[in-house]
Amino acid sequence: MKVLAYVDGVKAEITEQAAKSLTHMNLAFGHMRVTGELEAGHLQLPARFEQIRAWNPGVKILLSIVPFDPNAFTVCAADPALRVKFAGSCVETIAQYGFDGVDFDWEFPCMPSNGHDCSPADKRNFTLLCEDVRKAIGPNKLLTIAAGADLYYVDAVEPEELARILDFVCVMTYDLKCGFHALAGHHTQLYSSMGDVFRNSCDQALRLFHSRGIPKEKLLMGAAFYSRKWENIKDRNHGLLQISEKGGGYGPNYGLLAEQYINKNGFVRYWDDEAKAPYLFDGSIFLSYDDELSLKYKCEYIKEHGYGGIFYWEHSCDPSGALLAAIADNAR
């Protein structure tokens, strides 16, 4: 079972225990330019690759890539010459820094909601970009993507085509409720609760991707080392599934939750056994997050159903290492 961490490549610290607990690390982020160039010189962690691999010779370290310039993915994917140039930049960067492959975090093809001038042509062009990069880096280097965890994503890409090109897909089964949702609820739940009008969950997302042609062993479930927060919630049902005046913003990371929020300062921890998810409520503020127990259920689900593994965003959000330890203990 794969255990993958998204790691801040500039400031994150990797301990020996963490390195030994992981099968994969995705460094965030390399920068894709609209010119087809790839930049990674700002990252600090590659200087520690030798030590990390001494602790865990089997760990695979990938560069996760986001668009630095607006529209970089759309522009480069649409132009055959830029696709080839970008693929060459991937090869050069892998060789220069010693990466084991690259990961694309395009949020999202065909979707203009993140302020990019996306196009319906992104659907086909993303496949062509992945094909060109695969040809360039060869079969012995890893090529993966981070994918939105709902119908909008699988309709905006070519899942069956990507399945034959990619090594695996990190399905971002967090932010399932976020700034788009004026309903206080779980943002990374394993299952949907009865009464939840948004029927999205980790289980639903992985089943959806598999139904569209991606083998189970190539699908990784996402976990959240941070929370989502809804404010001014009515004190009903401990805040769960109550309408908010606005969407859910980012809440504290897990380290801060453990220090100041979980059964502290007026916040009470509750457990939703349907969703297999914890939450906090103080009578007005609702916080959704993952903890050791929810991660145990996620790992058991992955093993029971034959999926490829688990990953999380983001490593520095839990300085104690408690959440990774829970994953490592239950991934065996």
Q: Bridge partners of 3?
A: 310
Q: In the β-sheet with 277-281, what is the strand arrangement from edge to edge?
A: 249-253, 226-230, 286-288, 277-281, 268-272
Q: How many whole angstroms separate alpha carbon 17 and alpha carbon 38?
A: 31
- Helix H segments across the chain? 16-21, 49-55, 72-78, 80-97, 122-137, 151-154, 159-165, 202-211, 254-256, 292-305, 322-331
Is 328 in contact with 23 (CB distance < 8 Å)? no
Q: How many whole angstroms separate alpha carbon 40 and alpha carbon 99?
A: 11
Instruction: Tell me the CB-side half-sphere exposure of residue 17, using CA atoms within 13 A.
Output: 12
- Please give the single-letter amino acid code of residue 239: G
| Cα 12–Cα 168–Cα 27 angle in degrees, nearest 5 | 15
107 is known as an active-site residue: yes
Can you tell me which residue has the tokens 């200087």? Answer: 47
Which of 92, 107, 274, 314 is catalytic? The answer is: 107
Q: How many whole angstroms separate alpha carbon 198 and alpha carbon 192?
A: 8
Active site members = 107
